[in-house]
Amino acid sequence: MNIEELTSVQEPERRAGLGIIGCADIAVRRALPAIRESPFRLVAVASRSPEKAEGVAAPYGCQAVAGYDRLLELPGIDAVYIPLPNSEHAEWARRALSAGKHVLIEKPAVPSEETARALVALAEERGLAVMENFAFLRHPQHEQARSLLADGAIGELRAYNGAFGIPPTDPNGIKYQAELGGGALWEVGCYPVRAAQEYLGSSAQVLGAALEFDPKLGVDVSGVALLRGDNGVTANCSFGLSHSYRSTYDLWGSEGRLTLEWAFTPSRDARPVLRLEQRDRETRIVAAASDQFLGVFRTFHDAVRDPAARTVHHRELVRQAGLMSRIRAHAL
């Protein structure tokens, strides 16, 4: 063994260090367990409350930090995950990028295309990745759907129909606070809209949109958006915070239809069903169980390590922010 070979054995590549800015429920329930199994090395969790940070960090053996700025000053942190209220995403993403950290932002990342472009420009100027967390895209059922479509299982795609609705919860929760970026469009509408973009070609226009507002809550509680892709495919996206639970989309083709029955929020142990209808035959395809949050952190880690992997995430961040802002403008 020569000296170069010996050095490579003795000095394995350091695992990228990750910090979490905020202790939101989604971070505690889904992100932290996934990070433990991911290529990242969890360094610290930050909260404005020292007690909350300590309670979240303790089971994972990482550092608890009081204050988000302090986390950005810690050594050994290469990247951060930001699961803060929507209204705080842009500011803390900007601060993290300015501090030289790669950034994963919980969905919806930012409310406007201008803001998204500014973050991407800052990331690219500093040689960093910025990525929006739509975890459902990392579940293998969506790759199966795209593969079936590419193989002609439903003929030529004509239309997409997506729906995501959840029952009402505590009216004092963040999702009902307009000043924190709450409301049905941002909270749940972003899911079917983002899934639609997988099938609408490189761009989509808004043909129509409507939002239903609750005057007591001061936010939109349901809505619908009609889109059209540059490939001629139309997309109907329905969503709401005052519905029974529904998390699905279907692809309607010239020769059949494919339905994903649990498209957006399957648990890590669930095996979602894809239902393929072809003339007088129905086939039920059971997808593998998968932790889609683990898929997110693996994908994000790839972008941290490989500059070539960042372009697609930057483009998707800008595209989604632009489409969501156009939907909202059309509905108001």
Other CB atoms within 10 Å distance of the CB of residue 5? 9
134 closest CA partner among 92, 162, 104, 173: 104
Q: Which residues contact 197 (CB under 8 A, 6 or more apart)?
A: 204, 316, 319, 320, 323
107 is catalytic: yes
Tokens of 158: 């004509």
CB 80 within 8 A of CB 102: yes
Tokens of 266: 């399957």
CA–CA distance, 291 with 226 (Å, rounded to integer): 31
Q: Which runs of E-coded beta strand occur in the chain?
A: 17-21, 41-47, 63-66, 79-82, 102-106, 130-133, 157-165, 204-214, 219-229, 234-240, 246-253, 257-260, 273-278, 281-286
Residue with tokens 């079936």, as numbered in its chain: 148
CA–CA distance, 284 with 269 (Å, rounded to integer): 18
241 closest CA partner among 306, 179, 191, 292: 191
CB 146 within 8 A of CB 192: no
Q: Which of 101, 107, 175, 216 is catalytic?
A: 107
Report the catalytic residues. Answer: 107
